Amino acid sequence: MAQEHANAGIPRRKLLATAAPIAAIAAALPTTGRAAEPAGGPPAVRLGIIGLDTSHSPAFAKLFNLDDDPQHVPGCRVVAAHPHGSRAIESSTKRIPEYTEAVQKLGVEIVDGIGPLIERVDAVLLETNDGGPHLEQAAAVLRAGKPLFIDKPVAATLADTVAIYRLAAERKVPLFSSSSLRFGGGTLAVRNGSIGEVTGCDTFSPCSLEPSHVDLFWYGIHGCESLFTVMGGECESVSRTTTADFDLAVGVWSGGRIGTYRGIRRGASGYGGTAFGTKGTAAVGMFDGYRPLGVAIADFLRTRQPPVPPGETLALYAFMEAADESKRRGGGPVKIADVMARAEAAATDRLAKLPG
């Protein structure tokens, strides 16, 4: 997760069908080479990691590279990593030596630069903890035509998030991003209809802040991801109440449904929530480990189809951006459509100024 917390946690009704543009992306993907999978199995997708400043990097390397581990996810192999993503957030950069050593022990080659990394791999996991440099990092991968998974947050701002997804669509390169919270068994059961039609949901998670990011992008995204997994992407407006230690973001979804996210910075926390449906209620938002996300990544690379529709991811980030805007307005409601319109305009400017 974005930081090392003692508490850990994870993720609505049916998985949404992938939109037609994603099928077009899959069809346009260039054929790439593969790394040999040990024990005579099929060739493995060669993965590269950008950013060794998060525990997710060695966690994914272990999932994909340790064949005898009970959590092993077959079909992929992390073969190279570029340690540095950002040097701006000290809590992240100080971990690089430790995590570099950890992935080296898993047979991963350490390379100096994104260019040399791209040359060695079929696909990339963008793990840099700091979302600030993600647009430039993602652009290098997408321009090379390599499928890309971006660990949360997609970027530090909604405008950069929109720009990344727009660039992927223009280049016809498969892309998806998610927190591990989206793939918790209980949460997916609700998404798949276990309590009927979802009428509402309340989630919670730790919510430490990082000044360089939209408030909820940094850590509150975990609980917000669970909320959107259950409720879907049709949020229309957001209101936020905030204090030094707590946040409460209230969203109004299509059909008058209400979903809430509680962010916690003091006292007991953890990850969880309750979903409400036409046939019952259920616990959601618990953390089931990283393997479910690893399986989703491997399936994504096999099918070239993102398990999370781009529109739903953009709606999630618009929700969190709207919560910041509501905070600036003293808690008043903010329309998602207004936030997205501003971000689309800013994304055009960001792409125009992007190096290369």
Q: Is position 121 within any domain?
A: yes
Q: Is position 310 within any domain?
A: no
Question: From residue 331, how far is each of 4, 263, 318, 325, 343 by CA, in Å?
Answer: 30, 15, 16, 8, 20
Using an 8 Å Cβ cutoff, are 52 and 99 in contact? yes
Residues 196 and 342 in one domain: yes
Residues 189 and 335 in one domain: yes
Query: What is residue 317's three-state secondary structure?
Result: helix
- Measuring CA to CA, which residue among 11, 82, 9, 56 is closest to residue 307? 11
Residues 26 and 159 in one domain: yes
- Which phi and psi (to 5°) does residue 159 adopt? -60, -45
pLDDT at 331 over 50: yes
- pTM over cut 0.95: no
Q: Give the pLDDT confidence score for residue 40 in this predicted structure.
A: 57
Residues 175 and 248 in one domain: no
- Which phi and psi (to 5°) does residue 39 adopt? 65, 30
Residues 156 and 219 in one domain: no
Residues 79 and 124 in one domain: yes
Q: Give the pLDDT confidence score for residue 244 in this predicted structure.
A: 97
- The token pair at 66 is 């340790």
In total, how many domains does the chain have? 2
Residues 92 and 126 in one domain: yes
What domain range is 149 assigned to? Answer: 20-180
As to burial, measured by CB atoms within 10 angstroms (0-12 exposed, 13-18 middle, 19+ buried), residue 305 is: middle
- When pLDDT is averaged across residues 248-254 and rounded to a whole number, the result is 98
Q: Give the pLDDT confidence score for residue 167 in this predicted structure.
A: 98
Residues 37 and 144 in one domain: yes
Query: What is residue 236's three-state secondary structure?
Result: strand
Q: In the chain, what percentage of residues exceed pLDDT 90?
A: 84
Q: Is position 325 within any domain?
A: yes
Q: Give the pLDDT confidence score for residue 17 in this predicted structure.
A: 32
Choosing from 180, 207, 228, the residue where a domain stops is 180
Choosing from 149, 180, 211, the residue where a domain stops is 180
Residues 167 and 188 in one domain: no
Residues 127 and 195 in one domain: no
As to burial, measured by CB atoms within 10 angstroms (0-12 exposed, 13-18 middle, 19+ buried), residue 346 is: middle
Q: Is position 352 within any domain?
A: no
- Measuring CA to CA, which residue among 351, 30, 296, 19 is closest to residue 172? 30
- DSSP H helical ranges for 232-309: 291-303
Query: What is residue 177's three-state secondary structure?
Result: strand
pLDDT digits (tens, 9 = 90+) for 182-191: 999 999 999 9
pLDDT digits (tens, 9 = 90+) for 97-118: 999 999 999 999 999 999 999 9
pLDDT at 10 over 50: no
